[in-house]
Structures are given as C-alpha cells and as structure tokens.
Chain A
Amino acid sequence: MDDIELFKKTFFQECADLLGSLEAQLGSLQSGDRDPELVHESFRAIHSIKGGAGAFGFRRLIAYVHVMETVFDLIRSDKLELSDELLNSAVRASDVLADLVHAAEVGQDLEANFESAAANDLAQAAGLDRDQSLFDTLASQSSTATMSAPPGAKRRCTIEFQPKYDMLRRANEPILIVRQLKELGDVKTMVDTSALPALDAIDATDAYLAWTFELETDAGIDVVREAFEFVEDDCHLSITFEDIADAAEPVLAASAGGETPAPRAISTASIRVELERVDRLVNLVGEIAIGQAMVSQQIDDELVKTHPRLVQELTALLAHTHNLQESVMAIRAQPVKSIFARMPRIVRELSDQTGKAVRIEMAGENTEIDKTVIEQLLDPLTHMIRNAVDHGIEAPQDRLAAGKPEEGLIRLRAEQRGSRIVVEITDDGRGIDRERVRRKAIDKKLIAADAHLSDEEIDNLIFLPGFSTADSISDISGRGVGMDVVNKNIRKLGGRVSIRSVPGRGSSVMLTLPLTLAVLDGMVVRSGDETFVIPLTNIIESLLLRDDLVNDVAGSGKVLKFRNEYLALIDLKQTFNIPAQQDMPNELAIVVEVEDGSLVGLVVDEIQGQQQVVIKSLEENFDVIPGIAGATILGDGEVALILDATAVRELNGRRPANSANTGKATMENQEIHP
C-alpha cells in the first residue's frame, strides 16, 4: 500500500468515528437536549470530514458536506434556529453523508443525483432558499471538474518542481514523488542542475536540483497534485495541463500555497493505534502473567526465610504486573456508544420501510467493553433491532386498537454487572405469539408434537437453528438467518442470549457478554488427569462432598443439599468422558451459578488454586467445543481448558445417561463415516 492509500485509509477510519459522533450528537439534539456544545460538536465533525475530503479530492463529497457545514455554521452562530423540521432534515442528511463517505471509500459510483434531494431538503429547511442553488452550483462545479478530464483522454501535464531548502531536511524524498507520477502515466523527466555548486561547497541537506516533468496522463490535476501533497509548502510547484490533440492553451493551473486544506484540529487527548499493536501488547503481557504465575509458584516458606528481601521485591513486582495487565486490557475497552450510535438510523430506515412509527431510546452508551466484543456485537445487535421493528412493533392502527400509543418504543440499554456486560433490547410490541412459535417448532420437527413446554421454553425456541417466524421472507429480516445466528455469534463471544416476552406487551432480549475476552480470574481444578479452570465469577462456594449431603434421585442422578436447596450434581468426569483414577476419596463440589441464576454443583477431584488466567482461543486453530469457553496456559506451561458452567449443565441435561464408553464409541462411528 502506498502512502496515499495509507492516509486515505486513516481518513476513512476517522470518518467512521466522526459520523458516529455526528449521529450521536444529532440523536441527543433530537431527544430535546439543546446544549450548544452538541451543535458545536456536530459542526466540528462535519467540518473535519470536509477537510479530509478536500485533502483527497473527493469533490462530490466536498460539495455535499459544504451544504451541511453551511447550515450548521448558521445554527452554531445563532443565525438559524434549530427547529424540529430542520433537525430531521439534518439527520437524514447525515445518513446520506454516511452513504457518500462509504461510496468514496469503496470507489462506488452513485447515481448522479443520489444526494441532491437530501442536500436541497436541508437547504430548504434551513431557509437557504435564495441559496437553493448552492448545492447544485457546487455539484455542477464538481462535475465540470471531472468532465474536463474525461476518462481515457490523455493529456500532457507539465510540472515544474523546485524543492526549497527545507524540503529534504523534512525527510521528504523526491524519488517517491517521481515514482508516484510514473504510476499516473509516461513521464519524461528533465533535471536542472544549474544551481548545483562545486563539490566542496555542497551542503548534503540542501536542495539544489529542480525538475521539469512531462507527464502524459488521463488523471486530473487533483490526482497529480496529490503526488506533491506533502511537499507543497516546501517547493515551488507549477502544474499545467494541455490536451494532446490540440496542444493549445493550458486548462488549469495551480501554484503551491494556494488552496491548502485547513489544518485539522489536533487533539492530544487521544491517539490512534492499530489494533494489531495493542493485541501484541496484550499477548506479551499475557505471557508475563504466565511467567508471573510460574514465579509465584516458586515462592515457599523456605524462600521467605532465606531471602526475605527477594520475596518482598518479587511480591511488589507481581502487584505491578497485575496492574500492568489491567491497564493494557483497559486500552482495548471501548464504550458501546460506537455501535449503539448506529442503531437510530437503522430504526429510522426501517420505520420508513414498514410504515411503522418507532422511536428508540438508549441508555448506558458509555459502558465499556472489549473492542473485539464490540466489533462482533454489531451484527447481532442490528439483527435484533431489525427483528424488534419488523416482528415486534405492530402497525400504527393495530397499536391504537390495542390501546397503545401510536409510536412504538424500542429501548436499548447496556450496563456492567460484575465481570459481565448486559445488553438489553426491549420493545413494547405484540410479544411472541407462543402458539405460532410452538406450531412452527412442531412443523420443523424441532420439538415433539406432544412436548410440554413452559412459556419461557417456548419463547426460547426461536434461538434454535433453522427457526424463523416471519410468514413472508421480508426484505428486513428473516432470510433464513434468524435468532439462531444471533445466538451462535453471541455464544462464540462467550456470551448468552435469552428472551422474555409478555403477549401484547412486548419482548425483551437480554445479551450477557464477558467484559473482556482476554483474562479472567479462575479456580484451577483437577478431574481425573485433566485440569480445568472455572471462572471465579461463577463460583458461589466449594465444599467437601460428605455422604449426608448427597442423595440419589431416581432418573435425575445425584443431588446436593446446599443451603436448604437441592442442586443437581454434575461430575466433570462423566460430562467429558474422563477416565477415573483409583482411590480418589476426596471428592469436592464447586457450587456455581449458571446463566439463569440457578445453582449447580460441579464434582471435581481437587482444587489446585486460584489464579488470573489469560484466555486463549480454541477456535483460532481448532473449533468450538461444547462446554468449554476457551483455553489457557498455566504456570507450568501446560494448556488447561476453561469451563463454561452453563454449557456444561446443558451438555449434561442433553445426555444424562452417557457413560464414558458409549460416548467414545459414538464418536468413532461418526468420525469414520463423514
């Protein structure tokens, strides 16, 4: 990737942030907040996009953004009142802006008047009637500019380029410019060495040479100028175009120092770092954490006695390592705002398409969560919002008939609960039609016709693979991918989805997600020869399995009496087909809380200790394993698997009578006949 492409990429990354910010500001304004800072912030975002678009010569984008900039400049200086109508136009204009930016990014050619309706609408709402031609003028200018360089028509471009003293000292390299010109077409280069002094008088950092390039190209002046973008202020530059056919008069001329884009405001509060670098740091710190675990295993009473200072310093070092790790993890954390901010647009577009009136309310946008989780949350979240509008919210007349307000309401909320993030999507629509879901599940042979299911169980059937309730395959949701895909994606992240619904009142989908995919505090346990890590957040208590606490229940296996409750006991050996060791009298139970809040006892052989572990992906090189949330590397360098208690319980419920031997046999059979 050449430099320009690299900078362009950065520009579009910034655009994404800026558009997100713009959307957020406009959203707050729409909710009635008239804080002037919101307008200022919107203006700054628009202005920055325009600045960048100018630097890269995206003329169509510039023309459009200019209208928005003009309008927000008027609002910001109190020359224009921000009416609801104007605000609505601005919101729609920002949607179109996002499309234009995207088109510029992927190099897509939009229809000629794609953006004109939105631009004119905004100009009109802003009362810029006399300037109504503002956009059209700008747009036609931009099209003339591109017109003058019809594709395929080669023109001769003469470039006079004379570096000033400072150019080389600022680490600019003329050869790069020449190379870039060469990419545009055939270049004839003439060098003027007249300023070159005698050898002994040469200052190696000075610039003595001047060049004249004759370039035959079909590129426009903007593209040619791009080559000189970083040296424009440090050189004398003149670019002249003439048509090759009739080499008559120069078409466009430009000299350096002319219309350089306004310098963008530099914010020192944050820096942009490639995710890959952060990941490398996270991995390194992870390795340090493993090393730390190894070191702490070496500290024993003997060492404390013989080398007290050493132990003291080591302990301090360990504390620092722990802090370091937490700080590094915090780098990856981002507010969910970045994806929440995209939802209002989706709701707007959908309510237009479906003719339903829907409003979205958001809370907890500043809840922070790991960047990787955020990225993978976008699709499931979008899908669920679409579902809520498409299937949840009723048509306006149905709502009125049901005695509800005409406008449907979707609430999107994020909050941190312990080491997990809970995202909830609630709508006040019709709720799940349990009878239909049930019939459908029977039709699709997902459940038996005579199955007795609780309301909650029926609601959660929609997460089963291949289930989709939309009667017609609409444009919006229900193309065969449904909530089962959401469920799968969220599970992949180590999260969980559940739904609650009250017929006629609405539904609420709850996602619980891990705060980070990188580390967790865990208890290291042993079952047979295998070592597992149980996330500490799940653990309620660990206790010795005394005979009087354990009872056999016919058909349900063993149960454990715990705080006046009977809990299911799950032996990890049975769940994971681990061969039992001889004489193992000291069975222990770890009481864990699973996702729905109920408690389960996990039977293990030994508790080896408690430590913070770095979560390693199994999917990276292998695949998802039911019951296992991931892997980690212990202090001795061995790999241990991290248990997913909820999945372990489900695994157990599904195959209660699976003994170790039959399990193995079915595995082989399935394997031999793929």
Chain B
Amino acid sequence: MIDDTMQSEFPGVMGQNPDESSEGAAQYVAFVVGEQTYCVDIMSVREIRAWTGTTSLPNAAEFVRGVVNLRGVVVPIIDLRIRLDQGETDPTKSHVVVIVMIDGKLNGMLVDAVSDILTIKKTDIMPIPDTGGEAENPYLDGLISVEEDMVAMIALDRLIERTVVH
C-alpha cells in the first residue's frame, strides 16, 4: 500500500509561494538583450546555463540557432535578439541561455545576461501602448516599470510559433 504521506515529499512547484500568489504577485527572471531588459515568469524557467555551440537545424526559422544537448534531452535554442527583430547575437562564453518550459516543451533563449529576480504584482503590468507603428512586437505581453527602468514581459507561447519552414 502506498503511504499517502509520500505525496508531501513532492510538493508542486506552484505551492512554493502561496503568500505572494494570493496577493496577485509573482516572481520574474529579468535578463538583458542589448539595451533592453526583458522578463519571464520564474515558474517557466527550468535552468540558466552558459552558451555552448549548437547543432544547426536545416529548414528551421532563422531565429532558431539550433539544438543543444541538455543532459540527454535535445533542446532548441532561440536567439531572442533575432526573434525580437534586433539583429543577430554573436554569442560568446559570457552569453547565457535561459531554459524555459513553454507548453510542455523545453526551449532555450539566448540572451546577453541575466540581471535580476523581480517580484511584480499583476496589477503593475501595463499593456503595450499602440504606437501606431506597423511593427508592433507580437512577442511581448506587457510592460513593467521597475525603478525608472522599463522591463518588457516576453510572451513565451508566441515565441516558439512557426519554428519550421515547410
């Protein structure tokens, strides 16, 4: 018979910050690409690792740098700079890959550096204003003002759309 106390040994990750979630606040991992700071929900982040070379994938969209071996699992790496239409990253050893879980799939985001862990209330997330420009960025979910700086929240689910060119 399986002892039901076993379950308590495997607490769900969601249960770790009960106080904060009840106030509508959550933690976000902030990182830098170029001059801009971006963030993603900490719950979607699995690990952060240094950049290593990738194996390129034929017929993959340009923003997919290729795949890496993450302890036996093949994980695609997305160059966030290309995805956000800001050129291409020339990765060095100091560049960082943030491994995130998106819709049950592991993906790595190549960024310049991880900068902070932010605690943000849901109500502090502001919508992206309509700038009237045609190049509205579809990969951002909202803006947050942190000590005079603007942090843009990445829309993870849209980030991995159309990764293969058929």
Binding site for B on A (CB under 8 A): 2-3, 6, 171-173, 176, 179, 230, 283, 286-287, 290, 530-531, 575-578, 616-618, 620-628, 631, 633, 637-641, 664, 666-668, 670-671, 674
- With both beta carbons as reference points, the residue of chain B lying nearest to A6 in the complex is identified as B2
Let me know if B14 is at the binding interface, CB within 8 A.
no
* Chain B 128-166 per-residue mask, 1 if CB under 8 angstroms from chain A, else 0: 000000000010000000000000000000000111111
Which residues from B are CB-within-8-Å of A670?
162, 165
**Docked CA distance A625–B63 (Å):** 15
State which of A3, A623, A666 has its C-beta within 8 Å of the C-beta of B163. A623
State which of B58, B64, B74, B107 has its C-beta within 8 Å of the C-beta of A639. B74
Interface contact B67-A622, CB-CB below 8 Å = yes
Given contacts A621-B106, A623-B163, contact A287 B62 (CB under 8 A): no
Which residues from A are CB-within-8-Å of B73?
616, 620-621
- With both beta carbons as reference points, the residue of chain A lying nearest to B64 in the complex is identified as A622
Interface contact B55-A640, CB-CB below 8 Å = yes
Which residues from A are CB-within-8-Å of B62?
664, 667-668, 671
Which residues from A are CB-within-8-Å of B68?
639
Interface contact A621-B76, CB-CB below 8 Å = yes
Interface contact A621-B2, CB-CB below 8 Å = no
30 contacts between A and B (CB under 8 A): A3-B1, A3-B4, A171-B1, A172-B1, A173-B3, A179-B4, A283-B72, A287-B72, A530-B55, A530-B56, A531-B55, A576-B59, A617-B74, A620-B74, A621-B73, A622-B60, A622-B67, A623-B164, A625-B60, A625-B164, A626-B164, A631-B74, A633-B69, A633-B74, A639-B55, A639-B74, A641-B57, A667-B165, A671-B62, A674-B138
Let me know if B105 is at the binding interface, CB within 8 A.
yes
Name which of B3, B61, B64 has the most chain A CB atoms within 10 A of its CB: B61
Given contacts A618-B74, A625-B57, contact A637 B162 (CB under 8 A): no
Binding site for A on B (CB under 8 A): 1-4, 53-64, 66-69, 72-76, 105-107, 138, 161-166
Given contacts A625-B164, A639-B67, contact A176 B72 (CB under 8 A): no
Interface contact B4-A628, CB-CB below 8 Å = no
State which of A618, A626, A671 has its C-beta within 8 Å of the C-beta of B67. A618
Interface contact A622-B162, CB-CB below 8 Å = no
Q: In the complex, how many angstroms separate the beta carbon of B51 from the nearest chain A beta carbon?
A: 14
**Docked CA distance A171–B3 (Å):** 10
Interface contact B164-A621, CB-CB below 8 Å = no
**Docked CA distance A623–B63 (Å):** 14
**Docked CA distance A671–B83 (Å):** 10
Given contacts A283-B72, A621-B105, A625-B58, contact A671 B162 (CB under 8 A): yes
**Docked CA distance A341–B161 (Å):** 40
- With both beta carbons as reference points, the residue of chain B lying nearest to A176 in the complex is identified as B4
Q: In the complex, how many angstroms separate the beta carbon of A293 from the nearest chain B beta carbon?
A: 13
Interface contact A626-B59, CB-CB below 8 Å = yes
Interface contact A616-B74, CB-CB below 8 Å = yes
State which of A286, A577, A622, A674 has its C-beta within 8 Å of the C-beta of B72. A286
Which residues from A are CB-within-8-Å of B2?
3, 6
State which of B69, B72, B164 has its C-beta within 8 Å of the C-beta of A624. B164
The total of Cβ contacts below 8 Å across the A-B interface reads 106
- With both beta carbons as reference points, the residue of chain B lying nearest to A619 in the complex is identified as B105
The 9 closest A-B CB pairs, nearest first, are: A576-B58, A639-B55, A622-B76, A631-B74, A621-B105, A623-B164, A616-B74, A621-B106, A667-B165
Interface contact A575-B58, CB-CB below 8 Å = yes
- With both beta carbons as reference points, the residue of chain B lying nearest to A172 in the complex is identified as B1
Interface contact A671-B56, CB-CB below 8 Å = no
Which residues from B are CB-within-8-Å of A671?
61-63, 162, 165
**Docked CA distance A576–B87 (Å):** 23
Interface contact B55-A638, CB-CB below 8 Å = yes
Given contacts A618-B67, A625-B60, contact A641 B55 (CB under 8 A): yes
Interface contact A230-B1, CB-CB below 8 Å = yes
Which residues from B are CB-within-8-Å of A179?
4
Name which of B74, B106, B163 has the most chain A CB atoms within 10 A of its CB: B74
- With both beta carbons as reference points, the residue of chain A lying nearest to B158 in the complex is identified as A674
- With both beta carbons as reference points, the residue of chain B lying nearest to A170 in the complex is identified as B1
Interface contact B105-A622, CB-CB below 8 Å = yes
**Docked CA distance A406–B73 (Å):** 55
State which of B1, B54, B56, B162 has its C-beta within 8 Å of the C-beta of A674. B162
**Docked CA distance A623–B60 (Å):** 9
Please give 4 more A-B residue pairs, beta carbons under 8 A apart, in addition to A618-B57, A621-B106, A670-B165: A577-B58, A622-B67, A625-B58, A631-B55
Q: In the complex, how many angstroms separate the beta carbon of A5 from the nearest chain B beta carbon?
A: 11
Which residues from B are CB-within-8-Å of A172?
1
Q: In the complex, how many angstroms separate the beta carbon of A558 from the nearest chain B beta carbon?
A: 20
Interface contact B59-A625, CB-CB below 8 Å = yes
Q: In the complex, how many angstroms separate the beta carbon of B107 from the nearest chain A beta carbon?
A: 6
Q: In the complex, how many angstroms separate the beta carbon of B160 from the nearest chain A beta carbon?
A: 8
Q: In the complex, how many angstroms separate the beta carbon of A523 from the nearest chain B beta carbon?
A: 17
Which residues from A are CB-within-8-Å of B55?
530-531, 631, 638-641
Which residues from A are CB-within-8-Å of B66?
639
Which residues from A are CB-within-8-Å of B138?
674
Which residues from B are CB-within-8-Å of A631?
55, 67, 74
- With both beta carbons as reference points, the residue of chain B lying nearest to A617 in the complex is identified as B74
Given contacts A639-B55, A641-B57, contact A621 B74 (CB under 8 A): yes
Which residues from A are CB-within-8-Å of B56?
530
State which of B72, B107, B162 has its C-beta within 8 Å of the C-beta of A616. B72
Given contacts A176-B4, A622-B57, contact A674 B161 (CB under 8 A): yes
Interface contact A667-B4, CB-CB below 8 Å = no
Interface contact B69-A638, CB-CB below 8 Å = yes
Which residues from B are CB-within-8-Å of A664?
62
**Docked CA distance A666–B59 (Å):** 10
**Docked CA distance A93–B115 (Å):** 67
Which residues from A are CB-within-8-Å of B107?
621
- With both beta carbons as reference points, the residue of chain A lying nearest to B53 in the complex is identified as A638
Which residues from A are CB-within-8-Å of B64?
622
Which residues from A are CB-within-8-Å of B76?
621-622
Q: In the complex, how many angstroms separate the beta carbon of A253 from the nearest chain B beta carbon?
A: 27
Q: In the complex, how many angstroms separate the beta carbon of A276 from the nearest chain B beta carbon?
A: 14
**Docked CA distance A531–B56 (Å):** 10
Q: In the complex, how many angstroms separate the beta carbon of B19 from the nearest chain A beta carbon?
A: 28
**Docked CA distance A674–B59 (Å):** 16
- With both beta carbons as reference points, the residue of chain B lying nearest to A618 in the complex is identified as B74
**Docked CA distance A664–B58 (Å):** 10
**Docked CA distance A407–B14 (Å):** 60
**Docked CA distance A640–B2 (Å):** 42
Which residues from A are CB-within-8-Å of B1?
3, 171-173, 176, 230
Which residues from B are CB-within-8-Å of A667?
59, 61-62, 165
**Docked CA distance A622–B59 (Å):** 13
**Docked CA distance A639–B73 (Å):** 10
Which residues from B are CB-within-8-Å of A290?
72
**Docked CA distance A666–B60 (Å):** 12
Q: In the complex, how many angstroms separate the beta carbon of A618 from the nearest chain B beta carbon?
A: 6
**Docked CA distance A179–B1 (Å):** 15
Q: In the complex, how many angstroms separate the beta carbon of B50 from the nearest chain A beta carbon?
A: 14
Which residues from A are CB-within-8-Å of B4?
2-3, 176, 179
- With both beta carbons as reference points, the residue of chain A lying nearest to B61 in the complex is identified as A671
- With both beta carbons as reference points, the residue of chain B lying nearest to A630 in the complex is identified as B74
Q: In the complex, how many angstroms separate the beta carbon of B162 from the nearest chain A beta carbon?
A: 5
